[in-house]
Every structure is written in structure tokens, then in C-alpha cells.
């Protein structure tokens, strides 16, 4: 059972537990976009994201990826290993979408070969800016060896998830990952993997089944998340 709230973000809350090496991670129904400028609640989003993330973490663990996930303990909660989050969010892009189109002039839907990996400073105050390996090293956010591990994990996770979603009729366009250091200083995957953190398009129709439905007022947000839940199950 949770003891103390230690962190609340846009989509999740984190609590201490009786075990000093474990946290309770609770998923919220809150939805935000554009660095918090757009806000709303999506019915059942917390429960759906918890279920989807649990399934994906279990799959990644079976494929040899170390994660913070221990087990799902309720509709909206999972038990996770205590980690210290590395303040560099990782985005892996397989298909041109989002900021690649808006800021760099890519044509939406173009396949990227090889995939593009980007780092973003995890800072709400600064607007989560794109930054480089050299910035990460200069800021002391991670060591070179840790960055190499994170890149390797990201490419491995991408290969695993592309196959996972493809077998379910879904195109994995891009996704965000967060990593942390466990109690022994080992780098492991943390946070969540869900329609909040991935762009997922129906393979046959190109229909968006992710948070872009909320970002751009496409409607049927809850239905899209439910569809992803049904397919990954």
C-alpha cells in the first residue's frame, strides 16, 4: 500500500511503499499536450495505460531488457523498482511525424532508415528542449558509458516493439523512453510505454491510435486507447 506521495507528474503519481527498494506508480486520467498548455481528462486512460504498459514491460523483460516493472497491483497501479531517473528523455523515430514534420520539413509518413534517436532534456521549466550527447555530458546528466548503454537499449527495444506491434496490425511510428539507475547504479528502462508515449498507426488504414487524437482534436481518444489495449492483449 502507498505511504507517501513523492512525485506527481502530468500523467502519473509515485508513492513510497513499505519496501525501501520499491515504489508504487499510479496512472492518472489526466491528459496534457504542448508542454501542458492543453489539458483535459480522458475516461479510463489511467487504467488503460497501466494495463498496456504492464503487458509491454513483461514482453520486454522476456526479451532480455531490464526494466523497473515488478507487477501490476490494481487497475491503475503498478509496483516498480526504485530508480533515480536520468534527466534525458529518449525519442526513437521510425517514421516521420510530429516535430520532424513541423520543425525540419520531413514529409509525414516517410520511413526513416535507419531510425533517428534524439535526446530531450527532462525539464518542464525549459520546455524539454532537444539536446545532444555533448550537452548531456557537460551537464553531468549521464556518463559516456551510460549513454552507450541507453542507445543500445533503445535500438534493441525498437526492434522488439516494431515486431510486437506489427504482429498486431500496428505501425510503430515513434516513441519516448525514460531510463533510470537502480539501487545498484545499473541503467534500466523506467516510466511507461503506452499510447501516451508512442505514436501508433493502424497498419491498414493509417488511423492514429495514440495521444495525437487528443493533441489535434481528432476525437475518439478513449476508443483508440481501448483498441490498442485489445490488440496488445
Q: What is the pLDDT of residues 33-71, one digit of tens each?
A: 887 778 999 999 999 999 999 999 999 999 999 999 999
Rounded to 5 degrees, what are φ and ψ at 78? -130, 150
- The mean pLDDT of 120-144, rounded to a whole number, is 96
pLDDT at 26: 98
Burial 210-230 (b: 16+ CB within 10 A, else e): bbbbbbeeeeebbebbbbbbe
- In percent, the amount of the chain with pLDDT more than 90 equals 95
Q: What is the pLDDT of residues 171-229, one digit of tens each?
A: 999 999 999 999 999 999 999 999 999 999 999 999 999 999 999 999 999 999 999 99
pLDDT tens digits for 82-128?
Answer: 999 999 999 999 999 999 999 999 999 999 999 999 999 999 899 99
DSSP of 138-196, one letter per residue? Answer: HHTSS-HHHHHHHHHHHHHHHHHHHHHHHTTTEEEEEEEEEEEE-TTS-EEEES--STT
pLDDT of 1 > 70? The answer is no
E-strand spans in 9-76? 12-16, 22-27, 30-33, 38-41, 69-72
Set out the domains of the chain in order of their start, with CATH numbers: 5-81 (3.30.200.20), 84-220 (3.30.470.20)
Amino acid at each position: 500500500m502507498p505511504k507517501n506521495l513523492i512525485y506527481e507528474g502530468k500523467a502519473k503519481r509515485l508513492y513510497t511503499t513499505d519496501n525501501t527498494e520499491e515504489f508504487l506508480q499510479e496512472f492518472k486520467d489526466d491528459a496534457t499536450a504542448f508542454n501542458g498548455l492543453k489539458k483535459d481528462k480522458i475516461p479510463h486512460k489511467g487504467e488503460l495505460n497501466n494495463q498496456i504498459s504492464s503487458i509491454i514491460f513483461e514482453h520486454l523483460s522476456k526479451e532480455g531488457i531490464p526494466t523497473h516493472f515488478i507487477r501490476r497491483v490494481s487497475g491503475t497501479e503498478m509496483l516498480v523498482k526504485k530508480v533515480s531517473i536520468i534527466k534525458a528523455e529518449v525519442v526513437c523515430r521510425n517514421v516521420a511525424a510530429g516535430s520532424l514534420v513541423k520543425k525540419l520539413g520531413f514529409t509525414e509518413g516517410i520511413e526513416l532508415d535507419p531510425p533517428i534517436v534524439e535526446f530531450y532534456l527532462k525539464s518542464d521549466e525549459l520546455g524539454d528542449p532537444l539536446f545532444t550527447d555533448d550537452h548531456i555530458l557537460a551537464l553531468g546528466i549521464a556518463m559516456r558509458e551510460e549513454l552507450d548503454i541507453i542507445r543500445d537499449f533503445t535500438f534493441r527495444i525498437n526492434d522488439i516493439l516494431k515486431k510486437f506491434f506489427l504482429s498486431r496490425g500496428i505501425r510503430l511510428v515513434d516513441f519516448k523512453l525514460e531510463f533510470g539507475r537502480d539501487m545498484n547504479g545499473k541503467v534500466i528502462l523506467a516510466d511507461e510505454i503506452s499510447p501516451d508515449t508512442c505514436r501508433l498507426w493502424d497498419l491498414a488504414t493509417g488511423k492514429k491510435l495514440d495521444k495525437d487524437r487528443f493533441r489535434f482534436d481528432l476525437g475518439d481518444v478513449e476508443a483508440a486507447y481501448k483498441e490498442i489495449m485489445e490488440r496488445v492483449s
